[in-house]
Amino acid sequence: MNTLVWVEHDNSAVKEATLSAVTAASQLGEVHLLVAGSGCDGVAQAAAQIAGVEKVHLADSPVYANALAENVAPLIVDLMGHHDAFVAPSTSNGKNIAPRVAALLDIMQVSDILSIEGPKTFTRPTYAGNAIATVESGDAKLVVTVRGTAFAKAAASGGSGMVEAIPTGGDAGLSSFVGAEIAKLERPDLTSAKVIVSGGRALKDGPTFEQVIFPLADKLGAAVGASRAAVDAGYVPNDYQVGQTGKIVAPEVYIAVGISGAIQHLAGMKDSKTIIAINKDEDAPIFQVADIGLVGDLFNVVPELTGKL
């Protein structure tokens, strides 16, 4: 089986989520990659070094500069003539492109897979991760998105794939790129951080959130996350949100401060290796998933902890 993996990149470097997708694809068959972008030869060369990659299809054209799904999907559909499976990371862009590919191929998509149980059998979360469904596709070809936290990252080097330039398509004329406002983070990125400190509604307001959570995160070299309640109340921007409708994370250590542990929050962090919860309510549901729980007032406990680090 030939599998085609869409490479997420910014025209200069491969994004890490691609590496988990490559690991998943390698369990399905021979791994080919698609690098579609503009001035992205360097990305294709780097992608060819990813362990286990046999071939890199390079589509270099201004129409792919911003990964507009409407332009990239037809390119993938052409390549699916000689591939059996299309694999994309479950990132915003991957989730934008893959369903279009599935629709154009008139097959179903298997979304957000957690494991591969057979040639066309997968597990995936359902009910916000409270149940794991085993699903089997009956289609001749597969379109799959991969939950990054469920698959180890393929080594970024050690491979020796061949790079092959392919014909590019035109602009589908269905969408245009207007602009991007990318937040500049002073701390590690949430989805790749080894340690995350997250704050909840209990933090009261934005300045208090900063005063209590940021110093602890900085002492630990951690990324900062938040519950949806904290985001909705405007304490921090919404790209901090962890959960079902936020980011899915699985760091080595996740510290939940003043977060109750609603299922929608747990859906985004319960695969973390060690969960530490700080909450004044000993019955808070977060303690059911926590490896270490501290019952206390966060306004006393967190500054004390930060001071001792």
By CB under 6 A, name the binding residues for ligand FAD. Answer: 200-202, 227-230, 241-246, 258-260, 262, 264-265, 268, 279-281, 284, 297-299
Nearer to ligand FAD, 33 or 226 (CB): 226
Which segments of 98-236 are extended strands (E)? Answer: 109-113, 115-118, 121-126, 131-136, 142-146, 162-165, 195-199, 223-226
What's the rounded Cα separation, in Å, for the pair 119 and 137? 9
Distance of closest approach, residue 233 Cβ to ligand FAD, in angstroms: 9
Distance of closest approach, residue 307 Cβ to ligand FAD, in angstroms: 17
- Residue 243 and residue 265 in contact, taking contact as beta carbons nearer than 8 Å: yes
What's the rounded Cα separation, in Å, for the pair 238 and 234? 8
Nearer to ligand FAD, 53 or 242 (CB): 242
Nearer to ligand FAD, 204 or 219 (CB): 204
HSE-CB at 232 with a 13 A cutoff on CA atoms is 8
Residue nearest to ligand FAD (CB): 243
Nearer to ligand FAD, 144 or 248 (CB): 248
Q: Exposed, middle or buried, 114 (CB in 10 Å: 0-12/13-18/19+)?
A: buried
Distance of closest approach, residue 182 Cβ to ligand FAD, in angstroms: 21
Nearer to ligand FAD, 22 or 248 (CB): 248
Taking residue 158's Cβ as centre, other Cβ atoms within 10 Å add up to 11
Distance of closest approach, residue 90 Cβ to ligand FAD, in angstroms: 14
H/E segment holding residue 213: helix 206-220
Distance of closest approach, residue 251 Cβ to ligand FAD, in angstroms: 16
- Which residues are CB-contacts of 306 (< 8 A; sequence separation ≥ 6)? 215, 216, 219
Nearer to ligand FAD, 105 or 277 (CB): 277
Distance of closest approach, residue 250 Cβ to ligand FAD, in angstroms: 15
